[in-house]
Amino acid sequence: MGIGLSRSAFFKSHGTLVASVAAIVCFLAGIAITTHVGDLVSRERVLQHKRAVTAILSEARARLEGEFNSTVAHGAGIRAYVGQFDDRPFDPEDYRTIAVDLMEENPSIRSISLAPGNVVRGVYPLEPNKSALGLDYRTNASQWPAVRKAMETREVVIDGPRSVVQGGTGLLVRVPVFPAATPGQPLRERSYWGTASLILDIDSVMASAGIADALKETLITVYNRKADGPGERYVFGNQILDGKDAVTVPLHLPGGLDWELLGYPQNGWSVTGRNVWITQLVGSVISLVFGAMTFLLIHEVYKVRSMALHDPLTGLANRRLLEERMLQLAALCDRSGVGFEIFYVDLDAFKPINDTHGHSVGDRLLIEVGQRLLGQVRQSDTVARVGGDEFIVLTPGNMRRQEKDTFLKRLSDRVSMVFEVAGARIDVNASFGSASYPGDASTIDDLLRVADGRMYAQKARSRPKTNDLPDEGLPQAG
């Protein structure tokens, strides 16, 4: 694997990419957790809102149940009053006083009617309810079932809202009357006298129970679970609650009513609020900070690893990384039989360059030599700086003699090109030594020694004699 300035840059960019991906994943995970927590907070807020609406419904239920119990108590009063006159013919005037008193005490009562033998003989007030006189419940298909049920069960039955003969709609409270023939006579042994009916105005009942006031803040529906048709199920309130996520409170009413209260806020359940916004804001900030810290940590790890395996000046692989690559190729050779080549490169007379032009120029020359070597190798090769002015090129696979000589010549020609810097021209020369694994050595240390020895042998052969040195000329690195 070729490793140099371009490989180092790739390593760093790869580290940046990995760090960025990890940071994004952490940030998105934090946002997901924040969203989940925000949903939990929103649900809790909805639950709190539902509890508040349930409390409103509970108060309305208590008042509504009180209204109905009071009305039934009035019916029981009429039933007891009838017992005073059951031994003489029916006279409506006997009941006028108690009827007037009951209607004054309970404004929700529109009218009171008495039907001895199930035929209406008395109605209060007479106007505008005179049309109800003479009504035989047994011949009225809409009202007879409730009257008959009251007779059979001997209990109060509340029916409606239902259309009444005297006009409009109302709740019909049927009170069966069974006067006692003797004091203390059991109810089951008494004879049926007739029915007392109290017609209630539904709007007045709901107003007295405070339902109308509650409607100003909350959509409330009184729902009849026993109604036959969809249109009869909504006794009072907002029918638009159908299909809404409304809270429900059952009503415990007398007379066999199976009603319940449904409640829903005017603007729907509150899913947002200060707590939700704070949760989302804090969670987003924490996610962002966590993502940034993840990026910096992973990026720093890659940076430290890059520094540990690369030469800080040239960006080439250092000796540690080179030896790791060589060990990997040696292990591969043990399995496949395919070895590798190393080429030792040493700049000649590098010290005079530093002395003459300064260390900055010398550093730039080392960087340039590294780039020249990188330009002659494959992607799978490694170029490493292993000393001050020493480089090693590692190539996987063994070369024939001619291939090796051609490669060495290409390296030598490229490295030996004149280096121009700051207006100065510097001749560059280098000595080369090569070795093959496993042909020349069976261990990495021995292989390096062989290549190093051949490099110094070439350096000795190419070193000019003293009497051949020019009197003056260009500074040389070879």
Which has the closest alpha carbon to 369: 395, 397, 388?
Answer: 388
As a whole number of angstroms, the distance between CA 160 and CA 440 comes to: 110
Reply yes or no: is the peptide bond before residue 161 cis, omega within 30 of 0.
Answer: yes
Q: Report pTM.
A: 0.55
Helix (H, G, I), strand (E, B) or coil at 345: strand
Q: Tell me the mean pLDDT in the region 74-92.
A: 82
Q: State yes or no: pLDDT of 187 exceeds 90.
A: no
Work out the number of other CB atoms within 10 angstroms of the CB of residue 277: 12
Cα dist from 13 to 6, 267, 381, 384, whole Å: 10, 53, 20, 20
Asked whether the beta carbons of 345 and 410 are under 8 A apart, the reply is no
Neighbours of 67 (CB within 10 A): 21
- Please report the pLDDT score of residue 392 as a whole number: 95
Given the structure tokens 């093959």, which residue do they identify? 436
Phi–psi pair at 264, nearest 5 degrees = -155, 135
Q: How many CB atoms lie within 10 A of CB 103?
A: 18
**Are 319 and 384 within 8 A, CB to CB?**
yes
- Distance between CA atoms of residues 404 and 451, nearest Å: 13
The lowest-confidence range among 199-203, 301-305, 328-332, 466-470 is 466-470
Token couple for 316: 């080439």
Phi, psi of 348 (to 5 degrees): -90, 135
Q: 359-393 burial, b if ≥16 CB within 10 A, otherwise e?
A: eebbebbbbbbbbbbbebbeeebbbbbbeebbbbb
Whole-number average pLDDT of the chain = 83
pLDDT, tens only, 90-119: 888 888 888 888 888 888 888 899 999 999
pLDDT above 90 (res 330): yes
| Backbone phi, psi, residue 464, to 5° | -70, 145
**87-265 falls under which CATH superfamily?**
CHASE domain (3.30.450.350)
Alpha-helical segments (H) within 237-309: 274-309
Closest CA to 316 of 360, 375, 361: 375
Where do the CATH 3.30.70.270 domains begin and end in the chain?
311-477
Preceding amide of 186 cis, omega within 30? no
Domain span(s) for CATH 3.30.450.350 in the chain = 87-265
CATH for 311-477? Answer: 3.30.70.270
- Over residues 402-427, the pLDDT tens digits come to 999 999 999 999 999 999 887 788 88
> 396: cis peptide before it, omega within 30°?
no
Is the model more confident about 451 or about 20?
451
Q: In this predicted structure, what is the pLDDT of residue 383?
A: 95
